[in-house]
Amino acid sequence: MGDLANKPAVQGSFHPIDSADAAHPERLAEVRARCPVSVAARDGYPSVTMVATYEGIAEVFRNWRAFGSIGADPDPDVHDATPMELRPIIALDPPAHTWARRLNNLAMAPAAVEKALPYVASQAAALVGAFADDRQAELVGEWAEPLPGLAIARVLGLPEEDSGFIHDWVVSQFTESAAAAAGSNYGRTELPADEAFQGYLLEQIALRREDTAPEDAMTDMIRYRRDDGSSFSDLEISVHIRVLLIAGNETTTSLMSNLMYRLLSEPGLYERVAADRALVVPAIEESLRLDTPLQVIIRRANEDATVGDVLVERGSVIALSTMSGNRDETVWGEDADRYRLDRFAGDVERMHLGFGLGVHHCVGSFLARQTTALAVNALFDAIPSMSLEPGYEYENVFFHVFHRPKRLPVVFG
């Protein structure tokens, strides 16, 4: 491709790092129509090259040599200042990423996760049972928040009684006040070290270096060795566990909440899926597409590179708007903004961007899908009909990365 073919990115009005914009995914249609690759600049926010089309996003996801991972924080200085062994898996590229991924797969592969699913099913039933006779519930707080935390704790081997404390720690990372404490008006992912929580993780790791180590996934991770015989240090293991706990808590909560919001927003939809459980899987996949829980993913150009026919200069921070790609009309049709139960029915290829594409495809995707299916089936089993509380208005959580309602009050029975 000659230089003349490269068009410079134009400046757009939508800033994917600004929570106020990110709360309005319907505005992305205009961004996509005007320019697939644009530069988002705004006082107080980092400038990023925003990719809005499915095709452009897929291209960047799959070209990890040209577009490196620097974590979720759009400030590249945070990444560059982080020593290699403290970098989370979302800030690594192959070959270091490959070994870290294999380490994470010890806990998150379907064969490992399946052992925890009977427990997750029983916990889902218990959570629903606690409010099933009350005729009302707040589904985010009473259902979507507690279950994923219990599930990931069980999968890793962490004590069940610690899941509440872990969840509180995860939530504390993503509040407006946490962002302000980090000196920022947008959500930051690299926050000051939390010594108490780090101490807890190192204690759990130390337990598993003893002869009396429990046979669980964390012990497997500690015993894992790369091909050259080297193992992961306690510090490295703690970084990977932290990311699994954050992702395992917050993003599955988002998926569960988003799914229920859609099923309750169209009259009769909840009841239809409750009566035909074959619709559960297509309902989950369509939720992952339309209400992408992680709506923006960060990359950085390692070299001058192109996205489509647009030149992206070396060093540019790139914001992949997975939310926009998941609503791209050229891929999903003119009704891309609509929630449809038949979009993924009978279609086993689920190439939406809900879990990303390429080597960083969500390591927890199997657990997230299974947990959500068990959770929603537990609701259907106990409560055949349900509605949003009259007068309910959707409000998105703070933090540009996440898409989910803050609350979901429902009435039934």
Partner 1 sequence: MLQIIVDRGRCMGAGECVHVAPASFRLDETVTSTVIDPPGDDEPALLDAALSCPNSAITIVRDGVAVQASSEE
Asked if omega into 95 is within 30° of 0 (cis), the reply is: yes
Q: Which is nearer to partner 1, 109 or 182 (CB)?
A: 109
Beta-carbon neighbour count of residue 393 at 10 Å? 7
Per-residue binder mask for partner 1 (CB under 8 A), 61-90, x = binder = -x----------------------------
Residue with tokens 């070299």: 303
Q: Does 109 bind partner 1 (CB under 8 A)?
A: yes
Q: How far is the CB of 95 from partner 1 (least distance, A)?
A: 4
365 binds partner 1 (CB under 8 A): yes
User: Residue 355 interacts with partner 1 (CB under 8 A)?
Assistant: yes
The DSSP symbol for 32 reads: H
The number of residues in the chain equals 413
Q: Which helix (H) or strand (E) is 11 found in, with range?
A: strand 10-12
Q: How far is the CB of 276 from partner 1 (least distance, A)?
A: 18
Structure tokens at 9: 């990115």
Residue nearer to partner 1 on the CB measure, 84 or 196: 84
Question: How buried is residue 268: exposed, middle or buried, by Cβ count under 10 Å (0-12/13-18/19+)?
Answer: exposed
- 359 sits near partner 1 (criterion: CB under 8 A): yes
Tell me the residue type at 120. Answer: V
Residue 332 interacts with partner 1 (CB under 8 A): yes or no? no
Q: How far is the CB of 69 from partner 1 (least distance, A)?
A: 13
The one among 111, 161, 177, 211 contacting partner 1 by CB under 8 A: 111
**Cα angle value 41/250/189 (rounded, 5°):** 40
Within 161-251, residue ranges assigned H as helices are 163-172, 176-181, 195-207, 217-223, 234-246
Q: Which of 183, 348, 390, 393 binds partner 1 (CB under 8 A)?
A: 348
Contact call for residue 361 and partner 1 (CB under 8 A): yes
The answer to whether 222 contacts partner 1 (rule: CB under 8 A) is no
Phi first, then psi: give them for residue 164, nearest 5 degrees.
Answer: -65, -45
> Which listed residue (184, 358, 389, 411) binds partner 1 by CB under 8 A?
358
Q: Could you tell me if 106 and 127 are in contact, meaning their C-beta atoms sit under 8 angstroms apart?
A: no
For the chain, the distance separating the N- and C-terminal CA atoms, rounded to the nearest angstrom, is: 63
Q: Residues 410, 135: contact at Cβ < 8 Å?
A: no
CA angle 177, 12, 286 (to 5 degrees): 70
Q: Using CB under 8 A, which of the segments 34-42, 266-274, 343-351, 379-387 binds partner 1?
A: 343-351
Nearer to partner 1 by Cβ, of 105 and 302: the residue is 105
Q: Does 349 bind partner 1 (CB under 8 A)?
A: yes
x/- site string to partner 1, residues 251 to 280, per CB under 8 A? ------------------------------
- For partner 1, the binding residue among 54, 197, 261, 366 (CB under 8 A) is 366
- The Cα 8–Cα 31 span in angstroms is 16
Residue of 15, 32, 101, 240 interacting with partner 1 (CB under 8 A): 101
Residues at the interface with partner 1 (CB under 8 A): 62, 94-95, 98, 101-102, 105, 109-111, 348-351, 355, 357-361, 363, 365-366
